[in-house]
């Protein structure tokens, strides 16, 4: 069965996309999230920062 040139290009593109391992995709998404979180002018909800809790050994040093 003969296919059009557009169909051949589309199937080749889909094959390339599906060949990327999931671990690589997860890594790229995480890098993008870290980069976008550093933008102070970004739109949308801001990520909450983790609270810094002092350790028990630090408590005695303050007195």
Residues 9-61 have pLDDT tens digits of 999 999 999 999 999 999 999 999 999 888 888 787 776 777 777 776 766 65
User: What is the structure's pLDDT at 16?
Assistant: 94
C-alpha span between 26 and 37 (Å, rounded): 16
pTM of the model: 0.48
**pLDDT of res. 10:** 96
Q: What is the pLDDT of residue 59?
A: 64
Place of tokens 């909800």: 45
Check if the beta carbon of residue 42 is closer than 8 Å to that of residue 36.
yes
Evaluate if residue 63 carries a pLDDT over 60. no
Burial track 32-46 (b if 16+ CB lie within 10 A, e otherwise): eeeeeeeeeeeeeee
pLDDT at 62 over 60: no
């Amino acid at each position: 069965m003969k296919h059009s040139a557009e169909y051949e290009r589309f199937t080749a593109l889909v094959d390339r996309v599906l060949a990327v391992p999931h671990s690589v995709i997860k890594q790229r998404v995480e890098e993008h999230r870290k980069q976008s979180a550093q933008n102070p002018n970004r739109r949308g909800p801001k990520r909450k920062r983790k609270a810094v809790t002092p350790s028990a050994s630090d408590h005695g040093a303050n007195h």
